[in-house]
Structure 1
Amino acid sequence: MSLKEEKMVSTTFNNLSDEKQTKIRRALLKEFSSEPLATAQVAPIVKTAGIARGAFYKYFDDLTDAYKYLYGVAMRDIHSEINNETGGQFQPQFYLDQVKAFVQGARDSEYFGLIKMHLMKNESLISQGSVDPATVTAPEWATMILSHEAIKQIIINPDSQARVMNHLSDALNLLAGKEHA
Structure 2
Amino acid sequence: MVSTTFLNLNHEKQLKIQEALVNEFSTHPLAEAQVAPIVKEAGIARGAFYKYFDDLTDAYHYMYGVAMKNIHMAITQEVRDGKFVPTFYLDQVKAFVDGVMNSRYRKLIEMHLTRNESLVGDQGGSQASKLSSREWAAMILSHEVIKQILIQPNDQAMILHKFSEALNLLAGKGHN
Query: What TM-score, normalized to structure 1?
Result: 0.93
1:38 aligned counterpart, secondary structure? helix
1:133-170 CA-partner distances (Å, limit 9, x unpaired): 23211110000000000000001110111111111101
**One-letter code aligned to 1:78:** I
**One-letter code aligned to 2:93:** V
Q: Greater CA deviation, 80-89 or 54-63?
A: 80-89
What residue is the counterpart of 1:4 in the other structure?
none
What residue is the counterpart of 2:77 in the other structure?
84
Which of 54, 57, 62 is the equivalent residue of 2:55? Answer: 62
1:107 aligns with 2:110: no
- Residues 32-181 of structure 1: pairs in structure 2 closer than 5 A: 32-88=25-81, 89-128=83-122, 129-179=124-174
Q: State the shift of 1:87 in Å.
A: 3.8
1:60-84 CA-partner distances (Å, limit 9, x unpaired): 0000000000000000000011011
Q: Please give the root-mean-square deviation of Cα atoms over the aligned residues, in Å.
A: 1.1
Q: Could you tell me whether the CA contact under 8 Å between 1:86 and 1:94 is conserved in 2? A: no
What residue is the counterpart of 2:4 in the other structure?
11
1:38-68 CA-partner distances (Å, limit 9, x unpaired): 0000000000000000000000000000000
**One-letter code aligned to 2:108:** L
Q: State the shift of 1:86 in Å.
A: 4.3
Instruction: Quote the Cα distance in structure 2 between the aligned partners of 1:37 and 1:164.
Output: 28
Percent identity, aligned pairs only, is 63
Instruction: Quote the Cα distance in structure 1 between the aligned partners of 2:25 and 2:6.
Output: 19
**One-letter code aligned to 1:45:** I
Instruction: Quote the Cα distance in structure 2 between the aligned partners of 1:41 and 1:131.
Output: 30
**One-letter code aligned to 1:162:** A
Q: Greater CA deviation, 101-110 or 129-138?
A: 129-138
Structure 1: gaps (5+ residues): 1-6
**One-letter code aligned to 1:77:** N
Query: What TM-score, normalized to structure 2?
Result: 0.95
Structure 2: gaps (5+ residues): none
